[in-house]
Chains A and B, each alone.
Chain A
Amino acid sequence: MSERKKTPRALVVDDDPTQRKLQSAALEQAGLIVSEAENGRVALDLLDDVQPTLILLDVEMPVMDGFDTCKAIRQQPDYRDVPIIMITGNGDTESIDKAYKMGATDFVAKPINWSLLSHRARYVHRAGDASFGLRESEAKNRAFIQAIPDTVLVIDRRSGEIERVGGGSNQAGDSLIMNKSRLTLDDLPKKLAASWRLQFEQVLATGQTHRGEFSRTEGDETKHYETRIVPFTANRLLVMIRDISEQKQTSARVYQLAYFDTLTGLPNRQSFLTELSTAIRCAEKNSTMLSVLYLDLDNFKRINDSLGHSLGDELLKTISQRIENCIRADDYVARLGKSQSHLHLARLGGDEFTILLTDLKSPDEPEAVANRITDAVCEPILQDGHEFVITPSIGIANYPEDGQDIDTLVKNADVAMYSAKESGKNSCRQYSGTMSVRSLEHLELEHSLRRAILNDDLELHYQPKLSLDNGRITGVEALLRWTHPERGAVSPAKFVPVAEDAGLIIDLSDWVLHTTCKQIKAWESGPLRNLPIAINLSGKQFKHSDMYRVVINAIQQYSIDPSTLDLELTESELMRDADGTIGTLTKLKEAGLSLIVDDFGTGYSSLSYLKKFPIDALKIDRSFVMDLDKSDDNLSICAAIVALAHSLNLRVIAEGVEAEDYVYLLRQIMCNEIQGYHFCRPCNAEDVARFVIEHMQQERSPVSIEQDIA
């Protein structure tokens, strides 16, 4: 359209050359660029070259007269809207009528007043321009309305009449608008019509677009619509309706995923932190109290590890349901009769939950809530034919006295929870500033341990075992060492329980397994080839169904000889699920590994099982070896174990051998191997290699060499 404005061009069509010339002169005076044609045929041929913005057509012409020419021009889409002025005879009303019928825009009667023609041309041209612009913008609007996924209505606010002006096929609100030919606001749902009427007034008063939403049940689903109400004329409004159901569902789903736990449907950690942050601000403003209850299920990780996650998940669902039931607001209000406190339950992850109490009415409330939750959780749960009694430990931290920000409150509630656990579990503790440093220590250890596993801050030390039968070193036991960056060496007795509590034991065992395999591989090409390394398997890992796979995969990964890997498991772990264990152990044994029962004598062995287990050796618990030279009882026990083992064709290893006297006694009772400070302390790979090689060299008397060769 802008191009049209730059170059207004006229096409003058007349068979009379004087007429053409004069018309041209008149139009040029009006500022148009003029082309001429002596008849309609020529004019049609010239159209695309000239692209006229105004056409003057004589009625009577040879070849093709003005009417036919006008009609032919109008049939071309590009020239449908070009103004055409017909030049007619004076008083020839018939021609004038015909001209309009053929699509002429205007007429001028002869004789022509040339200066008037120039004005006329200018005016018609401008009007043509304007109407062209209008038509173009109408066309644009039509295309736009077709393209948008909205139902577009024009509503008259007085009559309530609704006109559907647009929208393609994919129409939101089809069901709402129905396919009635005549529709008014009264045909719409009453509530919707009433709210629209209000919004119409507002929109017309302010001239601002109103954006709203409404929902409807259509069939068995709820549909959501967005409306935009735009002022149109003084009494009419444009209402655009868009189906946003899908968008709503997606955002609800995203919200659900971001703020809710998928297993229990409870709010998650993120949700809890958001809630707590708001609650703290509110408590600060109104000088009210709030409380954070931190709940952890006692020994729950053991259930997960031993009975599988799916059962654990079921239990978690049941428990979260119970907690939810007992803190449900109505219930709670009813019980207390007066309190209006608000509670917010969230699952932080694993078996950890938080309960946020806001607007506390009494300082005793948190503990009352905690006790009710404890009672509810402790009720026996029947699941998969087993009865479970699961107890919670709950820590309480109050705002403002125990912390004034999110981090402090949550940390102190956590500390209080650990304190509750340490005091024997199944209890509830209120945080206090003097709360045992050990809880903090426990937390701190857990964090450091996680870091240590990631950073490879752990190390294996190795302690050789000596055969009393032939004086040779039969193998080494790998022992886990952790040097904490600040505390120095941390005893496994201290960090292994932390690892077990925190669910890190599997990671830890994996690390030990892989490091050992690497070491075996490293020794394979030197004098220490065939020197077995024993690793201690955690009972937790042992219950892990993939245990066999994990070990075999590691052996294959490092392509080591399976006979160089010994597994040690404690007696009590072995017996916990004796039937299940036998299968796994048998497969490992068949794969070529040696199996040693650790800490023998402290557990509760069934002799019949002991016979069934595919084991190679028993290791007498150090407590029996400890005072061997002073305690006749211990000596008797050790002798009995040796006798028992031998009767089952098992070797016997004594650990914790600290003095030469012990060695003598153990030799007396026919113990096969010893391990202990007396012979060699646990030391790193390099030192133990040196020790073993030296020992081998010393031992290589001519006799033993012969034995070797033999």
Chain B
Amino acid sequence: MNSPTTVIDIKAIEQIRALQQPNGENLLGTIISLFIDESARLQGCIAEAIDNSDCDAVRQYAHSLKSCSANVGAVEVTSLSIALESAGRDGELASLNELMSRLQSNLKTAVSELQLLISP
């Protein structure tokens, strides 16, 4: 809302804000911090799984990242997670590295966009 963005779906952010309790903690802030930590962890896990050529682990972590990123409206990250999940499921090791590098840059952009949303 602070600034128009293309990487973040603002509707998702609006939904989170709608859940904000009047005197509760800053829900959006919490969710975004949780996402930043979790997405970093999952990105690491996926990278490791790719190094190990563990397709099922890739699928599983990508699935988690998919749900997680969708919650904060990081649409590109979500799309790339879906691709990774499906490649993992199908055992397409070849496409994983390329998808992974796109995920890394997109995630970076999304995180900075999100950080902007919660910066005072």
Residue positions of A touching B, CB distance < 8 A: 15-19, 21-22, 25-26, 28-29, 60, 62, 110-111, 113-115, 118
Report which of A22, A28, A110, A111 forms a contact with B16, defined as CB distance below 8 A: A22
Asked if B18 and A114 sit within 8 Å, CB to CB, the answer is yes
Give chain A residues whose Cβ lies under 8 Å from the Cβ of B113: none
Docked pose: A115 CA to B27 CA in angstroms: 14
Is B35 touching A18 in the complex (CB atoms < 8 A)? yes
- Chain A contacts of B20 at CB under 8 A? 25
B15, B31, B34, B64: which contacts A115 (Cβ < 8 A)?
B15
Q: Report the minimum CB–CB distance from B84 to chain A (whole Å).
A: 14
CB-defined contacts of B96 to chain A, threshold 8 Å: none
Given contacts A16-B64, A60-B63, contact A25 B38 (CB under 8 A): no
A21 to B31, Cβ gap below 8 A?
yes
B111 within 8 A of A: no
Are the C-beta atoms of B19 and A25 separated by less than 8 Å? yes
B43 within 8 Å of A (CB atoms): no
What separation, in Å, do the CA atoms of A29 and B22 have in the docked complex? 10
**Given A17-B34, A18-B38, A29-B21, A111-B60 contact (CB < 8 Å):** no
Q: Can you list, as one digit per residue, whether each of B16-41 has a CB less than 8 Å from chain A (1) or not (0)?
A: 10111100100100110011011000
18 contacts between A and B (CB under 8 A): A16-B64, A16-B68, A17-B38, A17-B68, A18-B31, A18-B68, A18-B72, A21-B34, A22-B31, A22-B71, A25-B16, A25-B27, A28-B21, A28-B24, A60-B60, A110-B67, A111-B12, A113-B15
**A58 and chain B: residue at smallest CB distance:** B67
B49-66 toward A: CB 8 Å interface, digit per residue (1/0)? 000000000001001100
What separation, in Å, do the CA atoms of A111 and B74 have in the docked complex? Answer: 13
In the complex, are the beta carbons of B70 and A62 less than 8 A apart? no
- Chain B nearest CB from A116 CB (Å) reads 10
- B interface, over-half SS: helix
Return the contact of A21 from the options B18, B30, B64 (Cβ within 8 A).
B30
In the complex, how many angstroms separate the beta carbon of A195 from the nearest chain B beta carbon?
66
**Closest chain B CB from A567 CB (angstroms):** 113
The reply to whether A114 and B35 form a contact with Cβ atoms under 8 Å apart is no
Contact across chains for B19 and A15 when beta carbons are under 8 A apart:
no
Interface size class of B (residues with CB under 8 A): 20 to 34
- Contact (Cβ within 8 A) A18 B15: no
- Give the residue name and chain of the A residue nearest to B39 (CB): A18
Complex alpha-carbon distance, A16 and B34, angstroms: 9
Complex Cα distance, B72 from A114, in Å, reads 12
The residue among A15, A17, A18, A26 with the most chain B CB atoms within 10 A of its own CB is A18
Once bound together, how far apart are the Cα atoms of A26 and B21, in whole Å? 10
16 extra interface residue pairs, beta carbon distance < 8 Å, beyond A17-B37, A25-B19: A15-B64, A16-B68, A17-B34, A17-B68, A18-B68, A18-B72, A19-B67, A21-B27, A21-B30, A21-B34, A22-B16, A25-B16, A110-B67, A114-B16, A114-B19, A115-B19
Q: Which 10 A-B pairs have the closest CB atoms?
A: A25-B19, A18-B71, A17-B34, A16-B68, A18-B34, A16-B67, A18-B68, A114-B15, A18-B35, A111-B70
B37 to chain A, nearest CB (A): 8
A113 vs B64: C-alpha distance when bound (angstroms): 18
Give the distance in Å from the alpha carbon of A113 to the alpha carbon of B16 in the complex: 10
Q: Which residues of A contact B19 (CB under 8 A)?
A: 22, 25-26, 29, 114-115, 118
A68 CB, min distance to chain B CBs, angstroms: 15
**How many pairs of residues, A versus B, come closer than 8 Å at their CB atoms?**
56
Question: Within 8 Å CB of B35, what residues of A?
Answer: 18
A19 contacts B21, CB within 8 Å?
no
CB of A24 to closest CB in B, whole Å: 9
Binding site for A on B (CB under 8 A): 12, 15-16, 18-21, 24, 27, 30-31, 34-35, 37-38, 60, 63-64, 67-68, 70-72
- Chain B residues near A28 (CB-CB < 8 A): 21, 24
A110 to B37, CA, bound (A): 22
Complex Cα distance, B71 from A13, in Å, reads: 16
Task: Name the A residues within 8 Å of B60 (CB-CB).
Answer: 60, 62
CB distance from B107 to the nearest CB of A (A): 14
| Residues of A with C-beta under 8 A to B15 | 113-115
Name B38's contact: one of A16, A22, A113, A115 (CB within 8 Å). Answer: A16
Q: List the A residue with the shortest CB-CB distance to B73.
A: A111
Partner of B71, one of A19, A29, A62, A115: A19
CA distance A22 to B67 in the complex (A): 12
Return chain A residues, CB-CB under 8 Å to B63: 60
Specify the chain A residue showing the minimal Cβ separation from B41.
A17
Among the listed B27, B30, B68, which residue makes an inter-chain contact with A19, where contact means beta carbons less than 8 Å apart?
B68
Shortest CB-to-CB span from B77 to chain A, Å, is: 12
- With a cutoff of 8 Å between Cβ atoms, the chain A residues found around residue B12 in the complex are 111
Residues of A within 8 A of B16 (CB): 22, 25, 114
CB neighbours of A118 from chain B (8 A): 19
Cα–Cα, bound, A467→B63 (Å): 140
Which residue from chain A places its CB closest to the CB of B70 in the assembled complex? A111
**B17 → A minimal CB distance (Å):** 10
Contact B34 A25 (CB under 8 A): no
B3 to chain A, nearest CB (A): 22
> CA A114 – CA B37 in complex, angstroms?
22
Verify A110–B31 contact, CB threshold 8 A. no
> With a CB–CB cut-off of 8 A, which chain A residues contact B64?
15-16
State A22–B38 Cα separation when bound (angstroms).
14
A18 CB contacts on chain B under 8 angstroms: 31, 34-35, 38, 68, 71-72
A114 to B21, CA, bound (A): 13
- Of the candidates B21, B68, B70, the one whose C-beta lies within 8 Å of that of A25 is B21
A-side contacts of B68, CB under 8 Å: 16-19
Which residues of chain B are within 8 angstroms of A29 by Cβ–Cβ distance? Answer: 19, 21
> Which of chain B's residues have a CB closer than 8 A to the CB of A15?
64
A residues within 8 A CB of B18? 114-115
- CA of A113 to CA of B14 in the docked complex: distance in angstroms? 11
- Nearest residue, chain A, Cβ from B60: A62
Nearest B residue (CB) for A25? B19
Residues from chain B with Cβ under 8 Å of A110 in the complex: 67, 70
Report the nearest A residue to B27, measured CB to CB.
A25
A110 to B66, CA, bound (A): 11
- Give the distance in Å from the alpha carbon of A490 to the alpha carbon of B24 in the complex: 110
- Least distance between A112 CB and chain B CB atoms (Å): 8
Determine the chain A residues whose CB is within 8 A of the CB of B37 once the complex forms: 17
Q: A70 to B24, alpha carbons, bound, how many Å?
A: 31
In the complex formed, the residue of A with least CB distance to B63 is: A60
- CA gap between A114 and B16 in the complex, in Å: 8
How many whole Å from A252's CB to the nearest CB in chain B? 75
Which residue of chain B has the shortest Cβ distance to A116 in the bound complex? B15
- Distance of B21 from chain A, by nearest CB (Å): 7
A447–B87 alpha-carbon span in the complex (Å): 119
From residue A229, how far is it (CB to closest CB) to chain B in Å? Answer: 56
Residues of A within 8 A of B24 (CB): 25, 28
Q: How far is the CA of A113 from the CA of B11 in the complex (A)?
A: 10
Q: How far is the CB of B34 from chain A (nearest CB, A)?
A: 5
Question: Separation in Å of the A111 CB from the closest CB of chain B?
Answer: 5
Most chain A Cβ neighbours within 10 Å, of B15, B24, B27, B35: B15
**Residue of B whose beta carbon sits closest to that of A15:** B64
Residue numbers in A under 8 Å from B21 (CB-CB):
25, 28-29
Closest chain A CB from B39 CB (angstroms): 9
How far in angstroms is the closest Cβ of chain B from A16? 5
| In the complex, chain B residues whose CB is within 8 Å of the CB of A114 | 15-16, 18-19
Query: Closest residue to A90 on the B side, CB-wise?
Result: B70
